[in-house]
Structure 1
Amino acid sequence: MIELLAAATGHIRFEDLGLHPDVFSIGFFTLRWYSLAYIAGILIGWWYLLKLLAQPGAPMARRHADDLVFYATLGIILGGRIGYVLFYAPEMILHPLRILRLWDGGMSFHGGVIGTSLGLILFARKHKLDWLRVHDYIACCVPFGLFFGRLANFVNGELWGKPTDVPWAIVFPRTVPFGIPDPARHPSQLYEAGLEGLLLFAVLWFAFWRTKARYEPGRLVGLFVLGYGVARFTVEFFREPDSQLRAFAEQTGLHMGQWLCVPMIAGGLYLVLTAPKRRQRVEPIAGPNSVA
């Protein structure tokens, strides 16, 4: 540790990057990069969904997309916040008003997945659609939000990695108690942006556009869940655990995020392996022809 602290003087210092959590402030209103990340992820995801729905065999029509965005957004916000409280900060249950302070941060991706999935199931039942195939198409759009969200984490200078001496390490301010020099750390937010965002999008892009995966219900969402689980589980080895869960990580040997990824990996693998059994003649919602 002493060597890392000494070497930190030769690494990039976060404050030298000129980044700030706020885009601008006007009076009482402050626009944060984290908020923009959510907006950008939803809007670009919606745009990409329309591209997917224009292809043969779509599980829903263009008219369903707007309604779907509402259900998905509600699921992301409610599921993400409730998941954060349950998985990472249960003490907030004793202070309900803190739960409503979304602008103070604290969102769980795993909770967001559960919330979004429930929202999509309700949406599919309302419109009498195949809920699993709807999940397949939405899964292809999620990496946009993950990519922008992790970039926002980096801009906020939060969720940083463990101390290291790699050449690209960054010295994030106040990562240790006051009075102790800050060590250089892994920019784990950027690792996650690359794996959960760019790489996972590339895998799903190839599966959708270059294979017949969209005709095997569950394969695309299975690839997403499996891919995210593996990526997040791996990056957690380079990421500092949440301060309130450091003792939990030391006792169990894994971070909370890794434990939450175990069922995702198992579930994603199951969906991928069983997808060929669900292949059937697809009756598209829009268009006259069936797709074998």
Structure 2
Amino acid sequence: MFPLLYEINLGFIHIPLHTYGFMIAIGFLLGIATVRKLSAKSGMNPDVNADLAFWLLMYGFLGARILFVITRFDYFLANPMDIIKVWEGGLVFFGGLIAATAYAFYYFRKHRLNIWRMLDVLSPGLVIAHAFGRIGCLSAGCCYGKPTDVPWAIKLNSDLVDDSLKNVPLHPTQIYEALALFILYFGLLHIFRTKKFDGQVGLTYFMLYPIIRSLIEIFRGDTIRGFVIDGILSTSQFISILVFIGASMMLIIRLKQAEKNVSRI
């Protein structure tokens, strides 16, 4: 765990540069850069879409923090000032995804944009930002795994780690998910170049990420994230199932629509 990346010493003041915040910032920049590049390739305005991506990431960040605060409501009720200490970690991805998706659909409808084309452009940017966010989670010591004896196990002593698991070999679930997200990122870029219909990239993301997340959840050891069925089905796995089913059904519909359009030509 490496929570502090660098400390700027100005003599009269010390400014800490937290690794968690730095990784999130890198993810933001790469996510927006990805959206700009894909927008240009799609014949869309890269500046407008980059601005939208920025606000989506901001709403996502806010939603992720709010859901984390809700999961630890008793703690933050007693320590309200800690709510703003985002540099110490503490984001729930699905909270961010819900908030960002809600704003995105509001924006799409208001400006009468093609939802499917926009999802194709935005999804890879979200994935790369998320990947670097998971690296930040490793540095902060949150989103940790279960005890294990695998050779690549890691030990954490963050305040976010349960006392019984501090300095105990754990599955590096943050690394597992980051690696999976990097693979997904490049996979989506490939699909973007070869897609047969608008929405193929975005819907593929909404199908594959729930699978990734559900598998990662098996190795997670931070029980604070909540369970729908105690010890069996986590909240994230439950949401993943719903998202996967919805995305799969919509992908089938879009694929059939694309096949009909081809047959008419």
Which bracket does the TM-score occupy, shorter chain normalised? 0.7 to 0.9
1:238-275 per-position Cα deviation (integer Å, ceiling 9, x unaligned): 11033474xx4772512222222221221221232222
Larger radius of gyration: 1
Hey, what does 1:165 align to over in structure 2?
A: 149
% identity of equivalent residues? 27
- Per the alignment, do residues 159 and 252 of structure 1 end up closer, same or farther by CA in structure 2, a change over 3 Å counting? closer
Contact kept in structure 2, 1:221 and 1:268, CA below 8 Å: no
Q: 1 CA distance for matches of 2:126 and 2:248?
A: 18
Describe the SS at the equivalent of 2:41: coil
Q: Which runs of structure 2 are paired with 1:21-100 in the superposition (5 Å)?
A: 21-26=4-9, 27=13, 29-56=15-42, 58=43, 60-86=44-70, 88-91=71-74, 94=77, 98-100=82-84
1:173-194 per-position Cα deviation (integer Å, ceiling 9, x unaligned): 375647x984322111110111
Pair 1:187 & 2:169 matched:
no
- Per the alignment, do residues 69 and 244 of structure 1 end up closer, same or farther by CA in structure 2, a change over 3 Å counting? closer
Hey, what does 2:247 align to over in structure 1?
A: 268
Q: Which runs of structure 2 are paired with 1:1-292 in the superposition (5 Å)?
A: 19-26=2-9, 27=13, 29-56=15-42, 58=43, 60-86=44-70, 88-91=71-74, 94=77, 98-173=82-157, 177=163, 182-195=167-180, 197-209=181-193, 211-213=194-196, 215-217=197-199, 219-243=200-224, 245=226, 248=227, 251-279=230-258
Contact kept in structure 1, 2:63 and 2:97, CA below 8 Å: yes
Q: What root-mean-square deviation, in Å, do the aligned CA atoms of Structure 1 and Structure 2 show?
A: 2.9
User: Which structure ranks higher in relative contact order (CA pairs < 8 Å, sequence separation ≥ 6)?
Assistant: 1
Where structure 2 has 5 or more consecutive residues not aligned to the other structure, the ranges are 260-264
1:271 maps to a residue whose letter is: M
Contact kept in structure 1, 2:56 and 2:100, CA below 8 Å: yes
TM-aligned CA deviation for residue 75 of structure 1: 1.5
Contact kept in structure 1, 2:228 and 2:238, CA below 8 Å: no
Contact kept in structure 2, 1:163 and 1:183, CA below 8 Å: yes
For this pair of structures, how many residues does the alignment match?
255
TM-aligned CA deviation for residue 109 of structure 1: 0.8
* TM-score, length-scaled by structure 2: 0.82
- Per the alignment, do residues 90 and 176 of structure 1 end up closer, same or farther by CA in structure 2, a change over 3 Å counting? closer
- Say which is worse superposed, 229-238 or 105-114, in terms of deviation: 105-114
TM-aligned CA deviation for residue 93 of structure 1: 7.4
Q: 2 CA distance for matches of 1:190 and 1:31?
A: 21
* TM-score, length-scaled by structure 1: 0.75
Describe the SS at the equivalent of 1:171: coil
Describe the SS at the equivalent of 2:7: strand
Q: 1 CA distance for matches of 2:48 and 2:173?
A: 37
- Per the alignment, do residues 241 and 93 of structure 1 end up closer, same or farther by CA in structure 2, a change over 3 Å counting? closer
